Amino acid sequence: MRIRRILFALPFAVACLAAWFAPAKAGAFLAPPGHGEIIMASSFSDSTRAFDARGRLVPIPAYKKFELGTYIEYGLSDRVTLIAQPSVDLVHQASAQAAPPSAAGTNLGTRLGLANFGATVVSLQGLVHLPFAAGSRQAGFFDQDRVPAADLRLLLEHGFVIGTKTGFLDVEESHRWQGNSLPEEWHTDVTLGLRPIPPLLVMLASFMTVAGHLNATRSSWSWLKLQPSIVYDLSRHWSVEAGFFATVAGQNAGRELGSLAALWYRF
């Protein structure tokens, strides 16, 4: 139990650590007008374990997932960025009660700039998730985006320097409303990035989800995922990313282990 509390507190520990670093001017959190970026990413994960209601690992039928997605943002003005995130995933699980083998959908929304304090930027983002397939549903132990949903998110980004090295801290808190009688969720996402050399960005991200409202047919769930990755700039416009992720704690949630690769294009 103590280990799980430490793991769930990790995002806040990262935030406290970054507060010791001297601030410097960070890049604009919103995309400049007429500019943006496209990130094409793929990931693969599998598991034979899940966290039960008491946070203990238990065996489950073998699970495999491949996901392909694209993240697009475009600066409409100095204070408004448009966002689209279509994706498709293929799932295989040796269980008669598994979710459908494939799902596709898109996130659409807008990010609004609220305040800019030099090295710190605060924004508000709203997204809706639209599954393309009718009758999609969520897998019991894994976080599949198979139902309509809406997400309201508060974002804070802070830039800093350590000696001659630049970095950033990104903290996001969101509330997600879901269809099909699924519980509402709270999300806390934290990313710490540092450039040890100019073309290389090293990142450590954590993603924490906690389900809210309970009902007679649905159990609550929660999980914490960690995702280290590196991004290398090939040129002014192109970058490549590689990393891995793991669910390190949870309740009624799958223990996913996987890898990811992405191609970034800035315009």
**Could you report the per-residue pLDDT of 160-190, keeping only the tens digit for each?**
999 999 999 999 999 999 887 788 999 999 9
Number of domains in the chain: 1
Are the C-beta atoms of residues 225 and 3 closer than 8 Å to each other? no
> Dihedral sign, CA of 141, 144, 147, 150?
positive
- pLDDT score recorded for residue 28: 39
- Residues 112 and 31: beta-carbon distance below 8 Å: no
pLDDT of 23 reads 35
CA angle 45–146–70, rounded 5-degree value = 60
Full domain range(s) for residue 48:
2-266
- According to the model, what pLDDT value does residue 99 have? 55
Residue 104: per-residue pLDDT: 82
* Residue 215 CB coordination number (10 Å): 10
Q: Considering the entire predicted model, what is its pTM?
A: 0.83
pLDDT score, position 212: 74
Q: What would the two tokens of residue 157 be?
A: 């980004």
Residue 115 structure tokens: 């305040």
| DSSP characters over the chain | -HHHHHHHHHHHHHHHHHTTSEE-PPPPSSPPBT-EEEEEEEEEEEEEEEE-TTS-EEEEEEEEEEEEEEEEEEE-SSSEEEEEEEEEEEEEESSTTPPPSEEEEEEEEEEEEEEE-SSEEEEEEEEEEEESSTT----SSS----S-EEEEEEEEEEEEEETTEEEEEEEEEEEEEESTTPPPEEEEEEEEEEEEETTEEEEEEEEEEEE----SS----EEEEEEEEEEEESSSSEEEEEEEEEEEEEESEE--EEEEEEEEEE-
Instruction: Give, for all 267 residues of the chain, the pLDDT tens digit.
Output: 443 443 344 433 333 333 333 333 333 379 999 999 999 999 999 999 999 989 999 999 888 999 999 999 999 999 999 999 999 988 887 765 555 666 788 999 999 999 998 889 999 999 999 988 655 455 455 555 678 999 999 999 999 999 999 999 999 999 999 887 788 999 999 999 999 999 999 999 999 999 876 665 567 889 999 999 999 999 999 999 999 999 999 999 999 999 999 999 999
For the domain that residue 82 is a member of, what is the CATH number? 2.40.160.40
Which pLDDT score is estimated for 15? 35
